[in-house]
A and B are shown apart, each in its own frame.
Chain A
Amino acid sequence: MNHTVNLWPLLGVAVIILGFALRAHPVLVVIAACAVTGFAAAMDVGHLLAVLGAAFIKTRNLPLILLLPLAAIGLLERYGLKEHAQASIARIKSATTGRLLIVYLAIREITAAFGLTSIGGHPNMVRPLIAPMAEGAAENRYPALTDALRHRIRAMSAATDNVGLFFGEDVFVAFGAIVLMQTILRGEGIEVDPLHIAMWGIPTAVTAFIIHSWRLHRLDAHIARAMMKGQP
């Protein structure tokens, strides 16, 4: 048994769990977890700040994907992009929230599987187009749509984008995750063909589509039931 493993950094995880359980401000929870983890790993204040700072600069490419599209999306919203998306969906009589999102799920998963992971995304697809259309489709049938349902539909739109992206992308050979898996296995002395990893992702990808589509299908029924109950 290996006794040199330092278990103290696990305190950082405890801070995170406690912080979220107490509903403390997430940013403060993260900073507290950083401090606890750093001290548990025997870093002094200067060393910890340097580690945090170096990591902060190193990961600053992350917010680009979120922030850069906002200027264009904001301007289009000012000139009625959401209203246009809703008016367009209103013209399709058979459109329901669930059906619309199932179509989006299929498109997102298939395009991600072909490596086109940038087709969707929360800032440039979900906020300006998908969520307003999903909401519009429900509003079309139930003009007095409640705020609770509206929020549920929006959350489901965001979830659909995530599910489609996550479970589509690993079916594509050139995606980073496959390369990462191959590299790690190679480090352990196991040679695998990336094509095989991609292939064995397909059963889960199909299962993910079935489970999430079923939930989207049920969302329509949920909306109908909730609106029936509300009306006399």
Chain B
Amino acid sequence: MILRLDFFYLVLGAMLLMIAVMALRDPHNPKRYSSALFWALYAVVYLAGDWLSPVAAGAVMVVMALIAGFGGVTLGRYGERSPEQRRDSAQRLGHKLLIPALIIPITTMIGSTLLKDVKFDGLFLLDPKNTTLVSLGCGSLFAVATACWLTRATPLQAMRESRRLVDHLGWAVVLPHMLAVLGLLFTEAGMGKAVAHVVTSYINMDVKLVAVAVYCIGMALFTIIMGNGFAAFPVIAGGVGIPVLVGVYHANPAVMAAIGMFSAYCGTLMTPMAANFNIVPAALLELPDKNAVVKIQVATALPLLLANIALLYFLLNM
């Protein structure tokens, strides 16, 4: 391949290293040494990840968690422009401001659909396993270049702005990553078997509606625990869906699978464990309550879970 995912690991590593240096040199940050150490450690994960021994990487993760957990990552000062200045340039640049913002999704789309199979000299242009991520990376680089050209700002200013946003996200940046690690650990420790065992041994599934409800609610609950519907699906489909719904009630497997996965997604909406979708946006949108997005989604997710149970009950034998 010509453009590998590793290239963007180096880009992100360099970006995090610059954020660390800027944090270190910012006297307005009350905890600049621990903040800088936090970002520097994260940079190491990206710059030297392939050479790091697993134990060392584990130690890096624990130290980062301790720094973040005990409030060692704080905000600095960013030389922001006043609202009047921003309104003036908004008026001057107008719709042109949208161009760089739209370059990111458009490049990602083109890359992951049209350029997916393009080869030069027998080499794939984009890393075939990670087309979307690689295209998104290219889109981000194009967008920075266009934005710099349009606003006559320097790439260094773009780095300062990314530091401002990353600092506002703070520990929320690493939470999804650490939750993914916890998910893998849960899998390794045999969590799936334990949950399927508990679900199937204590509930009587002789009534079709109960079996359907256990399956849908089980998907949602397990997703709430793991933060990821993809982790819940094999466990609950293997524990309840296939042996009970298909085995006993002769369900159509396609219906069972489709509605099961959507029940899992109802769980994703209701859990802080799905940090990428729930905690990170709360931080990105500067909401004081980090669980505000989860709380607002519960009122959509619960009725939808009920609807899923009803749909599965009536469509089961289609």
Contacts of A118 in B (CB 8 A): 105, 108-109, 112, 132, 135-136
Does A103 belong to the interface (CB within 8 Å)?
Answer: no
B57 touches A192 (CB 8 A): no
Contacts of A69 in B (CB 8 A): 104, 136, 139-140, 143
Indicate with 1 or 0, residue by residue over A206-232, a CB within 8 angstroms of chain B CB atoms: 011001100100000000000000000
Most chain A beta-carbon contacts within 10 A, residue among B162, B189, B295, B315: B189
Contacts of A25 in B (CB 8 A): 68-70, 171
A1 touches B201 (CB 8 A): yes
Please pick, from B46, B88, B261, B307, the residue contacting A181 in the complex, using a CB distance under 8 A.
Answer: B261
Segment with Cβ contacts to B, from A77-85, A92-100, A138-146: A77-85
Please pick, from A70, A77, A188, the residue contacting B166 in the complex, using a CB distance under 8 A.
Answer: A70
Chain A: interface residue count, which band?
A: 35 or more
A200 touches B65 (CB 8 A): no
A197 touches B105 (CB 8 A): no
Contacts of A77 in B (CB 8 A): 86, 161
Q: State the majority secondary structure of interface residues on A.
A: helix
The answer to whether A27 and B174 touch (CB under 8 A), given A73-B101, A76-B97, A196-B254, is yes
Contacts of B95 in A (CB 8 A): 84, 88
Chain B residue at minimum C-beta to C-beta distance from A56? B61
Chain B residue at minimum C-beta to C-beta distance from A24? B69
Return B274 CB to nearest CB of chain A, in Å: 9
- What's the Cα separation between A84 and B289 when bound, in Å? 27
B158 touches A57 (CB 8 A): no
- What's the Cα separation between A7 and B109 when bound, in Å? 44
Indicate with 1 or 0, residue by residue over A33-59, a CB within 8 angstroms of chain B CB atoms: 110011011000010111111111111
Contacts of A78 in B (CB 8 A): 80-81, 86, 151, 153, 157, 161
Return B243 CB to nearest CB of chain A, in Å: 9
- What's the Cα separation between A79 and B290 when bound, in Å? 27
Please pick, from A33, A50, A151, A208, the residue contacting B54 in the complex, using a CB distance under 8 A.
Answer: A50
Please pick, from B5, B60, B89, the residue contacting A53 in the complex, using a CB distance under 8 A.
Answer: B60
Return B36 CB to nearest CB of chain A, in Å: 17
Given contacts A56-B61, A77-B86, 14 further A-B contacts (CB under 8 A): A10-B195, A20-B272, A30-B65, A34-B182, A56-B178, A59-B181, A64-B136, A75-B161, A84-B94, A120-B105, A128-B101, A158-B284, A198-B258, A215-B299
Contacts of A117 in B (CB 8 A): 132
Does B123 belong to the interface (CB within 8 Å)?
Answer: no
User: Quick one: which of A160-208 are within 8 Å of B by CB?
Assistant: 161-163, 166-167, 170, 177, 180-181, 184-185, 188, 190, 192-193, 196-201, 203-205, 207-208
User: Quick one: which of A133-162 are within 8 Å of B by CB?
Assistant: 151-152, 154-159, 161-162
The answer to whether A197 and B181 touch (CB under 8 A), given A41-B189, A78-B81, is no
Indicate with 1 or 0, residue by residue over B121-152, a CB within 8 angstroms of chain A CB atoms: 00000000010110111011001101110110
- What's the Cα separation between A180 and B237 when bound, in Å? 12
Contacts of A82 in B (CB 8 A): 86
Return A96 CB to nearest CB of chain B, in Å: 18
Please pick, from B54, B93, B279, the residue contacting A79 in the complex, using a CB distance under 8 A.
Answer: B93
Does A125 belong to the interface (CB within 8 Å)?
Answer: yes
- What's the Cα separation between A87 and B81 when bound, in Å? 18
Return A117 CB to nearest CB of chain B, in Å: 8
Does A67 belong to the interface (CB within 8 Å)?
Answer: yes
Please pick, from B175, B197, B287, B290, the residue contacting A2 in the complex, using a CB distance under 8 A.
Answer: B197
